[in-house]
Amino acid sequence: MDLVQLQRQFVDYKTSLYHEGFLDEQFTQLQELQDENNPDFVVEVVSLFFEDSERLLNELARALEQQSIDYKRIDAHVHQLKGSSSSIGAQRVQKVCIAFRNYCEEQNVEGCLKCLQQVRHEYSLVKTKLESLFQLEQQILTAGGSIPIFSRVTKLLKGIYLLSSLSLYHIFSV
């Protein structure tokens, strides 16, 4: 694939991630913080998020296996996960955490287990997608190109996306 095609694919893929709610405006903020002094900032923060989330998901699984469930502890972990997903713009993960906390408050073990499954699923989705996104970035850089700057383009493309046909949507989703 040539450079222009790669860049096009990158823009379309990234747009779809925002459009499908995987990423929100906070992810854009992260990119705006990245500069020449810290060119790997986004990757670094996202990697921290991956590590931290995996730790929290394991803790949650363990906590829900207990004979006597400590809902306060579970709520504390979910609160952390909600916070970190919000900080990097992982919107769908954040949303499940909100539902999860409600079940904690109700001390509803079934609800909690369901949410754990959901949050695991959303986490693994966003992880895969972010990894693909970073991979595309690398390919562009390796091909000697620059990463298309995105922020203002997002809203415009979102509009175009909504108007475009569903078949196009399928081509660009990975």
Residues 6+ apart with CB under 8 A from 55: none
Place of tokens 């562009």: 140
Closest among 81, 63, 61, 83 to 73, alpha carbons compared: 63
Binding residues for other proteins (CB under 8 A): 26, 29-30, 32-33, 35, 38, 41, 44-45, 48-49, 52, 76, 79-80, 82-84, 86-88
To other proteins, the closest distance from the beta carbon of 29 in angstroms equals 5
Residue 29 or 128 with smaller CB distance to other proteins = 29
To other proteins, the closest distance from the beta carbon of 30 in angstroms equals 8
Residue 38 or 138 with smaller CB distance to other proteins = 38
To other proteins, the closest distance from the beta carbon of 41 in angstroms equals 6
d(CA 94, CA 62) in angstroms, rounded, equals 21
> Encoding tokens for residue 172?
């660009």
For 150, what's the count of Cα atoms within 13 Å in the CB-facing half-sphere?
A: 25
3-class DSSP assignment, residue 38? strand
To other proteins, the closest distance from the beta carbon of 157 in angstroms equals 22
Residue 6 or 96 with smaller CB distance to other proteins = 96
To other proteins, the closest distance from the beta carbon of 35 in angstroms equals 8
**Helix residue spans in 40-165 (DSSP H):** 41-65, 71-88, 91-106, 109-142, 151-163
Residue 13 or 150 with smaller CB distance to other proteins = 150
Query: Following CA atoms 165, 167, 169, 172 in sequence, which dihedral angle do they give, to the nearest 10 degrees?
Result: -140
Residue 14 or 101 with smaller CB distance to other proteins = 101
Residue 49 or 161 with smaller CB distance to other proteins = 49
To other proteins, the closest distance from the beta carbon of 71 in angstroms equals 16
